[in-house]
Structure 1
C-alpha cells in the first residue's frame, strides 16, 4: 500500500469512528431533549403502572421511545423493583414493552430509504443549523429543548453518513463478503457476534444502527443480518444483569426476566429463521438486505415475541424466582434508615428520579409528623416510652436527611428541565425544614422528660390549651407534608390559614399563661415547660408554611 492509499485508509477509519461517536452522541442529546420535553407526561406514565401487564407493556414502550434505550429503561425498572416501587409482574410487562420501544431508533435510522421528498441525511445540516440557532439565541427553555432534539436528530444522520463514507470504499472487499457469508451460514456465530457487539456498546439501538449502516452499502445478506439482530437482543440484557449486582433478590429476578424473555425469543426465532432459509427459501437468505427491511424484522421480532410470551409472564417470573431463590433479609429498623423510593438506577430517567425524590421527602415528612405526635403525647401522658421513641426516630430523620440530600445532589447533576430544577432546589430546602421539625419534636420530648423527672403538672386550663394548640400544629404539618406529596394547591391554602391562626393562638396562650404565673396558679418550672413547648409548636408550623410555599412556587 502506497502513502496515498494509507492516508485514505486512515481517513476512512477516522470517518467510521467519528461517525459512530456522532451517532451515539446524537442519540444521547435527542433522548435528553425528549425527556425534558416529556416532563409531566413521564410523571403520568409512572402513575399508570399497575398489575395489568398490558398497561406495563405500553408504559415500557413509551418510556423507551423517549429515552431511546431499552437498556436504560430496563435498568430503571430494576431500580424501581429494588426500591420496592414495582413488583415482578409489573416489571415483566414494562421490560417486554421496552423491547418494542427500542425499535423506534431503527425506524429513524432507516427513514432515509423511504422518505422520498426530504431525506434526513440530506437536510440534517439544515436541521442542525436550526436547532443550534434555537439553542444559542432563544431564551425560552421549552424552545431550547426542541433545539436539543433537533441537534440530536441531525447528529444521528450526520454520524450515519460519516460511518457510511468510511465503510463504502470496502463494500466490494472480499474479506467483508466472506465474513458475512460465514455469519449467514452459521446462526450461532452470527447471534454470538450480535450479542458481543451490543454488550460492548451497551445499546441495542446503537448496534442495530451500525448494522443498518453496513446494510446501506449493500454488503449484508438477509440471513446474516437477521441472526445478528437476534443476537443483539441478548446482548442488550448484559447492562441490566450488571446493574442488578448488589440489588435485592426481587431486582435480580427482574434482570433474569429480561434475560429469559430475550433468550427464549431469540432461540425460537433463530431456529425458525434457520429452517426457513435452509429448507424453504435458500436464495432469500443470500439476498442483500436493506436498512428498512432490518427495521421491519427488528419490529416484527420484538412485537411477536412480546405477543407470544406476555401470556406466560407469571411463568417467566416464577422461573426467575427459581433461579434466584429465597427472600431478602431485612435487618430490624433498616427500612427506616434507607431510601425506600430511591435507587441510583432510577437516575437513568431523571424525570422519574425527581418524582420519586418527592415521595421520599414526603416519607421523611411523615416520620417527622409522627415524631411530633409522639412528643406531644409523651408530654401530656408523661410517657417515658414515647420519649425514648422520639429520640430514636430523630436519629432516623437525621439519617434520612443525609441520604436524601446526597441523592438530590446526584439528580441535580442529571439532565433536567427548568421546572424539575426548581423542584430539586425546593426539595433541598424541604429536607432541611423537615429536619428542623424533627428537632423541635425532640425539644418537646426533652421538655417532657424534664416534666416527668421533676413530677410537674399543668393546671387543667393549661393542659386543655396545650391540647388545642398541639392539635393545630399537628394538623398543619400533616397538611404541609400531604401538599408536598400531592402538589395540592388547596392544602397549601389550608396550611397558610392554619399558620396565621397558630401565630395568634401562641401569642394569646403565652399571655394567658404569664397571667397564671402572676397569680401563682402554677409554678415557674411548669411555666417554662409550657411556654417552651408552645414555642416549639409554633416553630413547627413555620416550617410547615415553608413546605407549603415551595409547593405553591412550583404550581405557579
Structure 2
C-alpha cells in the first residue's frame, strides 16, 4: 500500500469531530498569539508612535541607518509585514525614497527574527510563569491608566498574550511520541509521510520551502508562521526528533519559504498606490528571493554551521524540560533565521542602488510627467497602523499648502502681466485647483480611516485639526482660482486699473503672501510670536480691504467706471477671504499644539 493510500485510510478512520476539535484548538491558540501581537503592536504605537514616525521618516539618511531603523521598528511592532507595509505607505507619500525604503525593508527582515528567539526560549521556562504575571500587571492600567499609562498596560497585556498563545500552541499541537502510545497507527502513518517528504535531498528542501510560502500566505503573518513551524518541529511533525538535524533542516527550509511569503503582504498593499510604492514592494520581494536563491546553493554547510552554534548555546542554556534535542532544534532554527537574514543584508547592502534600478526597470512609470497627488490608505490588515500612518496625512496636508501658495503666486503673475498671453498659466492654475479638490477628498477619507483605528488623544486632536486645515486650504484655493477668473474677465472686457489701484492691490497681495508664509511655518509648529503676527497681518488685510472698497465706492459715486470698480472690489474681497482662511489654518495648528501639550502634561 502506498503512503498516500495509508494516509487516506487513517484519515477515514479518525472521527470527524476529533479532527475538527484538534484544528479548532490549534486555531484558537494561534488566535490568542495573533491577538496578543496585535494589542502589543498597537500599544507600542501609541506609546512611541511619534518617535517611530520620526525614526522611519528622518533616521534613514543612509542605507545603514535605514537598516537599523527597520530592525528596531520591527522588533517593537513585532511584525515585518506591518513595517514593510508602513514603508510602502511612506514611499507612497514621498517621505522615503526608493533607496531609503530598501534599507528599512532589509532591517525589517532582521527584526522579525526576534519572534524565532521568543519561541525558542519558550522551552526554557514555564510560559505561564511569565505570561500571566505580565497580563496581571498590564490589566489594571487598562482601567486606571490614562493615555500613555493605558497604552503601556496594553503593551504588557499584549506581550503576555503572545507568550500565553505560544504556550497554548505548544500544548495544542500533539507530540507524535505521545501519540504513538495512544494511536500508534495514525502516528506511524504521519511519520511515514514526513519521512517520505524529508528523504529526497534538494527536492525535499524545495517542498518544505513551498510549504512555508503557503503557510505564510494563509496566516498573513511571518511571526505566526514561524511560531507554527517551530512548534511543529519540536513536536515531531517535521521528522523524528531522534534525528534532530533532519528536523532542523526541514524547519529551516520552511523558514526560507516564509521569507518569500511575507513579501506578498506588501505587494498586495501596494496595489493602487503610486509607482514608487509598487517599486518598494517589488524591492522587498527581489531582496528576499535573491537571498533564498543563494542560500539554497550553500544550504547544507550553512545549516551545519547553525547547528554547531545551537549546540554551543545548548551547553550554556540547558533545557528546563531536560529534552536536549528539542532545545537544540529551537535554537538552531532561531540561529538560522537570524544568520540568514543578517548574511543576506551583508551580501546585498552594497547593491541597493542596483536593486533600485532593477525594480525601476520592472515597474515602469508610464506617465512620468503626470501629477500624482492621490492619497491612499494602506493597511496591513492584522495590525492597525492608524497611529503611524498619520505621517502620510501630514505630508499630504503640507503638499496641499504648497499648492495653495503656488496658486497664489500664479494669480499675482497673471495680475501683474496684463499684456502677456497667460492662457496656459490659467490652465495650469485650474489643474492645481482640481488637485486641491482631490487632496481634500483623499485626506478627509484617509483621516477618517485613521480615526476608525484606536489612536491616542493627542493624535485624535491632530486628526481634527488636519481636517479643518485641509478644508480651509481647499476654500483658499477656490478663492484664488476665482481671482484668476476675475482678472481674466477684466482683460476680456478691456477694463483697466489705474497705477494707484495696481499699487493698492500689490500692497494687499504682499500682506496675503506674508500670512500664507506663516501658514507654511505653522504646519511645522506654531509659536506665540507667529500667532501674534498672523493676527496682526489679518487685521491689516481687513483694514486695507475696507479702505480700498471705500475708495472704490467714492469713485463710483463720482461717475467712475462702475464695472471696473466692481471688479476691483471683488478682488479685494477675495484677497481678504484668503487671509481669513490662512488665519483659520494657523489657529487650528495652534489648538492642535495646545491639546498635545495638555496630553503630555496629563501623561506626566
Alignment of 1:185-196 (within 5 A): 185=199, 186-196=204-214
Does the aligned pair in 2 maintain the 1:184–1:223 contact within 8 Å? no
5+ long unaligned stretches in structure 1: none
Q: Which digits, 9 at most, give the CA deviation of each residue in 1:375-417, with x for residues without a partner?
A: 3443444366255554443333223322322222222223422
Change (3 A) 1:38 1:182: farther
Alignment of 1:375-524 (within 5 A): 375-382=411-418, 385=423, 386-387=425-426, 389-484=428-523, 486-489=524-527, 491-519=530-558, 522-524=560-562
The residue that corresponds to 2:298 in the other structure is 272
| Among candidates 542, 545, 550, match of residue 588 of structure 2 | 550
Does the aligned pair in 2 maintain the 1:473–1:502 contact within 8 Å? yes
The residue that corresponds to 2:405 in the other structure is 369
Structure 2 CA distance for aligned equivalents of residues 367 and 317 of structure 1:
29
The residue that corresponds to 2:599 in the other structure is none
The residue that corresponds to 1:134 in the other structure is 141
How many residues are matched?
543
Q: Which digits, 9 at most, give the CA deviation of each residue in 1:133-161, with x for residues without a partner?
A: 222333x1111111211221122122222
The residue that corresponds to 1:52 in the other structure is 62
Residue aligned with 2:178, SS: coil
| Among candidates 182, 205, 211, match of residue 223 of structure 2 | 205
| Among candidates 340, 347, 353, match of residue 301 of structure 1 | 340
Structure 2 CA distance for aligned equivalents of residues 392 and 169 of structure 1:
66
Structure 2 CA distance for aligned equivalents of residues 503 and 480 of structure 1:
17
Does the aligned pair in 2 maintain the 1:82–1:343 contact within 8 Å? no
Alignment of 1:141-152 (within 5 A): 141-152=147-158
Structure 2 CA distance for aligned equivalents of residues 455 and 120 of structure 1:
85
Change (3 A) 1:210 1:536: same
Change (3 A) 1:464 1:105: same
The residue that corresponds to 1:314 in the other structure is 353
Shifted more, 106-115 versus 498-507: the winner is 106-115
Structure 2 CA distance for aligned equivalents of residues 475 and 216 of structure 1:
68
Structure 2 CA distance for aligned equivalents of residues 416 and 188 of structure 1:
43
Structure 1 CA distance for aligned equivalents of residues 376 and 584 of structure 2:
24
Structure 2 CA distance for aligned equivalents of residues 525 and 395 of structure 1:
29
Post-superposition shift, 1:271?
A: 4.0
Structure 1 CA distance for aligned equivalents of residues 132 and 518 of structure 2:
53
Does the aligned pair in 1 maintain the 2:85–2:380 contact within 8 Å? yes
Alignment of 1:256-271 (within 5 A): 256-271=282-297
Does the aligned pair in 1 maintain the 2:88–2:270 contact within 8 Å? yes
| Among candidates 78, 84, 89, match of residue 88 of structure 2 | 78
Post-superposition shift, 1:537?
A: 1.3
TM-score (norm 2): 0.80
Structure 1 CA distance for aligned equivalents of residues 452 and 463 of structure 2:
11
Does the aligned pair in 1 maintain the 2:35–2:158 contact within 8 Å? yes
The residue that corresponds to 1:229 in the other structure is 255
| Among candidates 374, 378, 396, match of residue 344 of structure 1 | 378
Structure 1 CA distance for aligned equivalents of residues 427 and 215 of structure 2:
58
Structure 1 CA distance for aligned equivalents of residues 428 and 283 of structure 2:
42
TM-score (norm 1): 0.86
Does the aligned pair in 2 maintain the 1:408–1:428 contact within 8 Å? yes
Does the aligned pair in 2 maintain the 1:112–1:121 contact within 8 Å? no
Structure 2 CA distance for aligned equivalents of residues 215 and 204 of structure 1:
16
Structure 1 CA distance for aligned equivalents of residues 394 and 154 of structure 2:
27
The residue that corresponds to 2:366 in the other structure is 329
Is residue 28 of structure 1 aligned with residue 38 of structure 2? yes
Structure 2 CA distance for aligned equivalents of residues 292 and 222 of structure 1:
10
The residue that corresponds to 2:117 in the other structure is 107
Q: Which digits, 9 at most, give the CA deviation of each residue in 1:93-150, with x for residues without a partner?
A: 12211101112223333444456xxx55324233223323222333x11111112112
Post-superposition shift, 1:216?
A: 5.0
Residue aligned with 1:344, SS: coil
The residue that corresponds to 2:315 in the other structure is none
Does the aligned pair in 2 maintain the 1:80–1:343 contact within 8 Å? no
Structure 2 CA distance for aligned equivalents of residues 280 and 408 of structure 1:
47
Does the aligned pair in 2 maintain the 1:79–1:346 contact within 8 Å? no
Residue aligned with 1:39, SS: helix
Residue aligned with 1:329, SS: coil
Structure 1 CA distance for aligned equivalents of residues 349 and 368 of structure 2:
35
Structure 2 CA distance for aligned equivalents of residues 157 and 311 of structure 1:
37
Structure 2 CA distance for aligned equivalents of residues 389 and 271 of structure 1:
56
Post-superposition shift, 1:335?
A: 0.8
Residue aligned with 1:328, SS: coil
Does the aligned pair in 2 maintain the 1:46–1:352 contact within 8 Å? no
Post-superposition shift, 1:277?
A: 7.0
Change (3 A) 1:501 1:346: farther
Does the aligned pair in 2 maintain the 1:462–1:513 contact within 8 Å? no
